[in-house]
């Protein structure tokens, strides 16, 4: 019984994780700034977007195989020829300025905006031309699964990621609830960092989270829309 308590007392919990975006390509950030008017997009992406992710998944993969039947009589065999990666879904809270939602919309708009210099999107003959993948795919998206003491962690880095779909966001009359959005990401592959500690990502993220938490306890908050006033 003692051994069982020790073993099951060391199981990992599913609510200790962090999503982190280490910035986007300059092309994407400039497009969002020029077309959506989000001046601080890069800072929001790297500092706040990951904190807003309230539901995530660790990635999954599978091996695609081919069947061979003639190596040994009566014995079919399978051999792996490719590794397959499924899309991954992250869910986010939406801030009151809709910055997070506008950034994802702007990212997808940039992917399909190759023809905007020729035909405006409000004109009748408008068409879409996809941009080159190197300009809209990023390799700066991470998810880390860690424990309370940060002594052990798994960090997954997604290579060549881009948003594939944004789910509908329901709004309704009645009792209020937080506005949320789910984004499905496609990626070429992921890399797992199995180091014992991940101080560079985790410590910075936890410090930022604690700063948000402490600011919520204050009775007066700074209003970013009007530097001369405060919210009460």
Tens of pLDDT along 168-195? 999 999 999 999 999 999 999 999 986 6
67: in domain: no
79: in domain: no
105: in domain: yes
5: in domain: no
pLDDT tens digits for range 217-229: 443 444 444 444 4
pLDDT band at 124 (very low <50, low <70, confident <90, very high): confident
217: in domain: no
Cβ atoms within 10 Å, residue 142: 21
Instruction: Give percent helix, percent strand, percent coil of the chain, each to the nearest 5.
Output: 25, 30, 40
66: in domain: no
Name the more confident of 1 and 63: 63
153: in domain: yes
Instruction: Provide the residue range defining the domain that includes 15.
Output: 11-60+88-212
The predicted pLDDT at position 217 comes to 47
Distance in angstroms (rounded) separating the CA atoms of residues 6 and 15: 21
pLDDT band at 205 (very low <50, low <70, confident <90, very high): low
Does an H or E element contain 216, and which? helix 199-216
Number of domains in the chain: 1
Q: What is the CATH number of the domain that holds 204?
A: 2.30.110
Write out the E strands in the chain: 17-21, 53-55, 61-72, 75-85, 88-93, 141-146, 153-159, 162-166, 180-186, 189-193, 221-222, 230-231
The predicted pLDDT at position 228 comes to 43
Question: Residue 15, SS3?
Answer: coil
* Residue 112 clears pLDDT 80, i.e. is over it: yes
């Amino acid at each position: 019984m003692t051994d069982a308590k020790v073993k099951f007392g060391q199981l990992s919990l599913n609510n200790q994780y962090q999503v982190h975006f280490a910035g986007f390509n300059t092309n994407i950030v400039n497009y969002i700034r020029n077309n959506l008017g989000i001046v601080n997009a890069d800072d929001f992406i790297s500092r706040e977007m990951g904190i807003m992710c309230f539901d995530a998944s660790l990635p999954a993969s599978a091996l695609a195989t081919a069947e061979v039947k003639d190596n040994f009589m009566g014995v079919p065999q399978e051999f792996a020829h490719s590794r397959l990666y499924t899309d991954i879904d992250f869910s986010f809270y939406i801030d009151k300025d809709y910055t997070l939602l506008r950034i994802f919309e702007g990212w997808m708009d940039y992917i399909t905006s190759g023809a905007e210099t020729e035909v405006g999107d409000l004109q009748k003959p408008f068409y879409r031309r996809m941009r080159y993948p190197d300009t809209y795919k990023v390799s700066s998206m991470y998810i880390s699964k860690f424990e309370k003491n940060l002594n052990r962690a798994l960090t997954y880095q997604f290579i060549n990621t881009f948003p594939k779909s944004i789910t509908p966001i329901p709004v309704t009359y009645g009792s209020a609830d937080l506005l949320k959005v789910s984004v499905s990401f496609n990626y070429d592959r992921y890399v797992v960092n199995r180091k014992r500690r991940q101080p560079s990502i985790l410590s910075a993220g936890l410090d930022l989270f604690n700063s948000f938490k402490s600011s919520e306890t204050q009775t007066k908050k700074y209003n970013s829309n009007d530097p001369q006033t405060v919210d009460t």
